[in-house]
Amino acid sequence: MLRIDNLCVRYGGIVAVRDVSLEVHASETVLLVGANGAGKSSLINAVIGMVPAAAGTIAFEGRSLDNVACAMRARAGIGYSPEGRRVFPSLSVRENVLAGAIGAGIADKRERYDWLCGAFPLLAERARQPAGQLSGGQQQIVALARAMSAFPKLLLLDEPFLGLAPVWIDRISDAVRQMQGRGTTILMTEQMARPALRLADRAYVMRGGEIRRSGSADEIRAAALADEYL
Ligand SMILES: Nc1ncnc2c1ncn2[C@@H]1O[C@H](COP(=O)(O)OP(=O)(O)OP(=O)(O)O)[C@@H](O)[C@H]1O
Ligand SMILES: [Mg+2]
């Protein structure tokens, strides 16, 4: 579904992603694990079109994304939840979530919100509350639900567990499993390999902008036990 070949991302003289190739197959969950500055967000941002590829190609469903604008990538079925739980603080929880339901009519939006309330009970309890009043973990749920409300084919999650207590990590993991149950393909990044590997089929380890290792979630878990990135 997603195929990246020899991708490079640069910011002036800084090379953030160096010659990275990876694939995400339909219905699979793939984890990109790596420490601060490994290049995870840069790779995700290149897939959504927020930063340009300095070299290499990114293809979605067999079509190159070169020259495809951000908004068109979203319409093609690429959903994105950014790092750092960004919500519109003065909009209600419901408005935040449905801001992601691009192209949906009123009835469709109601149906999607109902489905999302099943996955995240918080959305029903707090539908009318301004999102800025929620806790960090609750805001992450709202950001995630916004990305899901487009019901994307490919969902990109950039560090969904960042800074969250175990109880919120468990809730977000449950929600990710519900998306997996819908057949959604997922590419997620994390520094915390342990909880993220429980959700993943396969993983890539990134360091210094390069892929250092790849394998099944079990292989990477075993390797991580012997290494420093767990
Ligand atoms: N807008 C930018 N301008 C200049 N350099 C940047 C920019 N964004 C990222 N970088 C640099 O690119 C490298 C990769 O950063 P990136 O944010 O992709 O890493 P990351 O793996 O997402 O890290 P984190 O886990 O901290 O989010 C780092 O050296 C970072 O300082
Ligand atoms: Mg990042």
Question: Are the CB atoms for 217 and 203 separated by under 8 Å?
Answer: yes
| Cα–Cα distance measured from residue 24 to residue 123, given in angstroms and rounded to the nearest whole number | 30
* C-alpha 223 – ligand 2 centre gap (Å): 22
How many residues can be counted in the chain?
230
| Residue 225 pLDDT | 72
Answer yes or no: is the C-beta of 52 below 6 A from any ligand 1 atom: no
* C-alpha 127 – ligand 2 centre gap (Å): 29
For 110-122, the pLDDT digits (tens) are 998 999 998 888 9
Whether pLDDT at 230 is above 60 = no
203 beta partners: 31, 215
230 falls within a domain: no
Whether pLDDT at 165 is above 90 = no
Take atom 18 of ligand 1 and give the residue whose Cα is closest.
39
| Cα–Cα distance measured from residue 145 to residue 78, given in angstroms and rounded to the nearest whole number | 14
214 falls within a domain: yes
Take atom 28 of ligand 1 and give the residue whose Cα is closest.
37
State the distance between the two ends of the chain, measured CA to CA, in whole angstroms.
28
Take atom 25 of ligand 1 and give the residue whose Cα is closest.
36
Tokens of 14: 């800084």
Mean pLDDT of 154-159: 96
Show the domain range for 153.
Answer: 2-225
| Residue 102 pLDDT | 79
| Residue 227 pLDDT | 67
Take atom 8 of ligand 1 and give the residue whose Cα is closest.
42
Answer yes or no: is the C-beta of 14 below 6 A from any ligand 1 atom: yes
Answer yes or no: is the C-beta of 40 below 6 A from any ligand 1 atom: yes
Whether pLDDT at 137 is above 80 = yes
Whether pLDDT at 229 is above 80 = no
Mean pLDDT of 168-174: 90
For the chain, give the mean pLDDT.
93
| Residue 15 pLDDT | 97
Whether pLDDT at 176 is above 60 = yes
* C-alpha 84 – ligand 1 centre gap (Å): 14
For 27-38, the pLDDT digits (tens) are 999 999 999 999
CB atoms within 10 A of CB 86: 15
Q: Could you tell me the CATH number of the domain that includes residue 145? A: 3.40.50.300
Closest CA to 189 of 217, 148, 166, 157: 157
Which atom of ligand 1 is least distant from the CA of 39?
A: 18
For 59-90, the pLDDT digits (tens) are 999 999 999 999 999 999 999 999 887 899 99
| Ligand that lies nearest to the alpha carbon of residue 82, given by its number in the listed order | 2
Take atom 6 of ligand 1 and give the residue whose Cα is closest.
11
Answer yes or no: is the C-beta of 36 below 6 A from any ligand 1 atom: yes
Per-residue DSSP letter, 151: -
129 falls within a domain: yes
CB under 5 Å of ion ligand 2: residues: 40-41, 83
78 falls within a domain: yes
Closest CA to 46 of 190, 172, 189, 197: 189
Answer yes or no: is the C-beta of 45 below 6 A from any ligand 1 atom: no
| Residue 84 pLDDT | 84
DSSP string, 46-101: HHHTSS--SEEEEEETTEE-TT--HHHHHHTTEEEE-TT----TTSBHHHHHHTT-
- Residue 216 phi, psi dihedral angles, 5° rounding: -70, 165
Percent of the chain with pLDDT strictly greater than 90: 76
Take atom 1 of ligand 1 and give the residue whose Cα is closest.
11
Q: HSE, CB side, 13 Å, CA atoms: give it for residue 198.
A: 11
CB atoms within 10 A of CB 140: 27
**The total number of structural domains that make up the chain:** 1
6 falls within a domain: yes
* C-alpha 221 – ligand 1 centre gap (Å): 25
